[in-house]
Amino acid sequence: MDYKELSCHFSYLSQDVGFTLLGYSDQPKAFDNFVAMYERDELKLRITRDRSQIFIAFSTDGKKWIDKEKILDIQGVSRDRFPTTDLGLWDGYDIT
């Protein structure tokens, strides 16, 4: 994924939520991997693509990162996944 594609998928973070893109790296370029860092006030957001998987983590100090899964658990969002109708993929979370 190049910077232009990143902007296409995640531009809402800047436009709608107020985050600022601090940095972007696509090195090494294998598997379209990238790391993008965003910041809003004291909250930092790290989006990592590793072998076609997207990982999102949050931090308030830039050192200790908390995976979005833990935050969803705290908010009462079930981590149960539901199969989609195509290709046997899994998608979605269910609000408890």
**3-state secondary structure at position 62:** coil
Among residues 75, 74, 92, which one has the least CA distance to residue 83? 92
Whether the model clears a pTM of 0.75, i.e. scores above it, the answer is: no
Instruction: Report angle CA 51, 53, 55 to the nearest 5 degrees.
Output: 125
Q: What is the pLDDT at residue 44? A: 92
Q: What is the pLDDT along the chain (96 residues), one digit of tens a residue?
A: 666 777 788 888 888 889 999 999 887 777 778 899 999 999 999 998 887 788 889 898 878 888 887 777 776 766 666 555 555 555 555 544
**3-state secondary structure at position 24:** strand
Q: What is the pLDDT at residue 81? A: 60
Domain extents in the chain: 3-95
Please list the alpha-helical segments (H only) found in 16-74. Answer: 68-74
